[in-house]
Structure 1
């Protein structure tokens, strides 16, 4: 699972909820229900020190993507540093390979669970109550 680590001087931030167009209310409620049923999010009733804004985007298909705007959280996270391989390193590793494939992981981030404490940092407000992500959402660095 993924563990988010706060900087030692981090101060909790509660972002105000963003306005949601009325015409999206039913679709957002349905999508939140689906995400809750799939174990991606969980309803929150206890107080939260960190609350992010929910961002809703409409895909070309008409379905919704529910994300966070974790700008304030990202500014307070310790980041692990990973050096991406260079093109020449990749070429040398792939030398002699003959079969290649590509994957487009639908909701790919959601396959990564977050630990309990990290989940408390991933709360967000909706017109239907507060939720928290139990899986790594888009936008968290």
Structure 2
């Protein structure tokens, strides 16, 4: 269970870092952009979903509302920090609830595509973790 939470946390961080690649500036600047408003995060995540999954207008609006709802719940974790927050069980639970709601608005084809993207990210994370272990950057 702990390994799964760690993988989800790392996945969330990679998603945030992936989204942050569209923003100019340093990591502190990126964090400030995400701190600015839940609307900023909800808009960025929804835009990525729209592009990757081909959401229609109704899905975009529903996805934005869901992403905004959960961005507001996560806002306290971003407040007052100049670095990416440490992933907690509470954050992982919030993200799991968000994922469940978002999957409900997708078509079966979009859910499959989202699952393929998720599997691809998990495979990358597992490969990265394995390389880090091999090079003694992290302990088992």
- Which band: TM-score by shorter chain? under 0.3
Higher relative contact order (CA 8 A, sep 6+): 1
Q: Which has the higher strand share?
A: 1
Q: Which has the higher helix share?
A: 2
Give TM-score, length-normalised by structure 1: 0.24
Give TM-score, length-normalised by structure 2: 0.24
